[in-house]
Amino acid sequence: MGRRNNTNVPDFILVGLTDSEEARLALFHLFLLIYLVTVLGNAGMILIIRLDLQLHTPMYFFLSHLSFLDLNYSSVITPKTLENLIASTKHISFIGCLAQMYFFVFLGGTEFLLLSSMAYDRYVAICKPLQYPVIMSPFLCCSLLLASYLIGFSESLVIVMYMNTLHFCDSNVVHHFFCDTNPILALSCTDTHDIETMIFILGGSTLVTSLITISVSYASILSTILKINSTSGKQKAFSTCASHLLGVTIFYGTMIFTYLKPRSSYSLGKDQVASVFYTIVIPMLNPLIYSLRNKEVKKAVIRLMQKRESTKGKYRVSLILECIDIDLCMQSRSGSRHLVH
């Protein structure tokens, strides 16, 4: 698309990750596979937690909402990316771009705060086990969850409202595969210093606050684990945190690399690779990390499978008994008729 003299941009063009047709086709199949695994993994995690009563605890309450966020987080970005990889035109409307940006910021910010809530839950479970049922009450869990959603909602609303005031008079070509803040700001022909500062303060405060909460929680957890005398006790305590710590490290690492730096150091290639990680790959990894490294989830899957087989067995037995009853009834009727004759 050429240059524009007006400030009203009806649509944007998402350039994507590569110009090579073969590479786009390969990425399409790869991202489609990742998205299917993401949907099945996160939906399966939510279903398992809801169906198994033994997983109705604060830890899995937060984990089910993490899966919900990952499922929606990936669905905001991946389907449009898949469409653009095989489509001849890669248009996205101005409203559609803002909507994608809004949900991306909203779900991402909420996930930051939810991960910090999960870290606090692990801190209480390991450092204050006797007080755990009292501290992590249903009211506190719901309050932490609601606060995470409200803060994420408010921050994303403010950011998108400010982004809506920008003027675009040179080009509508976005050098990215989705509507992120940095590539859109790069297109604006107005002064974006105030908006960049506001985004940096809002995003940075959320990121730093949640990171401090997680760091303090795990510092206390590590101190408590080191005081445990038995090796098996240390391993058991650490295993309850390993999955969460791994997920946090990957998610926070890519986000910090992308956003907590000045726009002057923005690098298209490096930032796109990092963006693929936290928008497409990490939502797939989270259910795998929390299920493969979590014995309770594995046990829950086994219990649900056994329950299903038991239900099938009972159904088969009931059918057999019903058939026997029908057969006996028919024989009885046949015998009665024979005596009458």
- Report the 10 Å Cβ neighbour count for 171: 17
pLDDT surpassing 60 at residue 262: no
User: Closest Cα partner for 274 from 298, 249, 243, 251?
Assistant: 251
Q: CA separation (Å) from 299 to 290, 295, 305, 312?
A: 13, 6, 10, 20
In this prediction, residue 331 carries a pLDDT of 55
Each residue's pLDDT tens digit, 210-222: 989 999 998 998 8
In this prediction, residue 225 carries a pLDDT of 84
Q: Which two tokens stand for residue 200?
A: 């940096």
Instruction: Report the range out of 17-21, 94-98, 201-205, 283-287 with the highest average pLDDT.
Output: 94-98
Which has more pLDDT, 69 or 18?
69
In angstroms, the first-to-last Cα distance of the chain is 96
Q: Is 103 exposed, middle or buried (0-12, 13-18, 19+ CB in 10 A)?
A: middle
The average confidence (pLDDT) of the chain is 82
In this prediction, residue 256 carries a pLDDT of 76
Calpha distance 284→304 (Å, rounded)? 23
In this prediction, residue 314 carries a pLDDT of 54
pLDDT band at 339 (very low <50, low <70, confident <90, very high): very low
Which class is domain 11-293?
mainly alpha
Decide if 15 contacts 92 (C-beta within 8 A).
no
In this structure, what DSSP letter does residue 173 have?
Answer: E
- Three-state secondary-structure class, residue 177: coil
Longest dimension (CA), the chain: 105
In this prediction, residue 111 carries a pLDDT of 92
Q: Write down the domain spans for the chain.
A: 11-293, 294-341
Q: Which two tokens stand for residue 29?
A: 């199949």
Which has more pLDDT, 242 or 214?
214
Q: List Cβ<8 Å contacts ≥24 apart for 163-170.
A: 163/98, 163/101, 163/195, 164/98, 166/190, 166/192, 166/195, 167/7, 168/4, 168/7, 168/9, 169/4, 169/5, 169/6, 169/7, 170/3, 170/4
User: Closest Cα partner for 112 from 252, 12, 267, 2?
Assistant: 252
In this prediction, residue 224 carries a pLDDT of 86
Calpha distance 19→59 (Å, rounded)? 44
Question: 174 has which bridge partners?
Answer: 14
Each residue's pLDDT tens digit, 80-100: 999 999 887 888 998 999 999
Instruction: Report the range out of 42-51, 233-242, 265-274, 298-307 with the highest average pLDDT.
Output: 42-51
Q: What is the mean pLDDT of residues 150-164?
A: 93
Region label for 109, one of left (φ > 0), alpha (ψ between -120 and 50) or beta (otherwise):
alpha
pLDDT band at 1 (very low <50, low <70, confident <90, very high): very low
Report the share of the chain in percent with pLDDT over 70. 81
In this prediction, residue 192 carries a pLDDT of 85
Q: Which two tokens stand for residue 261?
A: 């730096």
User: Closest Cα partner for 214 from 181, 255, 182?
Assistant: 255
3-state helix, strand, coil in the chain (%, to 5): 80, 5, 15
pLDDT band at 309 (very low <50, low <70, confident <90, very high): low
Q: Where are the beta strands (DSSP E) in 22-152?
A: 91-93
pLDDT band at 16 (very low <50, low <70, confident <90, very high): confident
Q: What is the mean pLDDT of residues 16-33?
A: 89
Q: Which two tokens stand for residue 198?
A: 């506001």
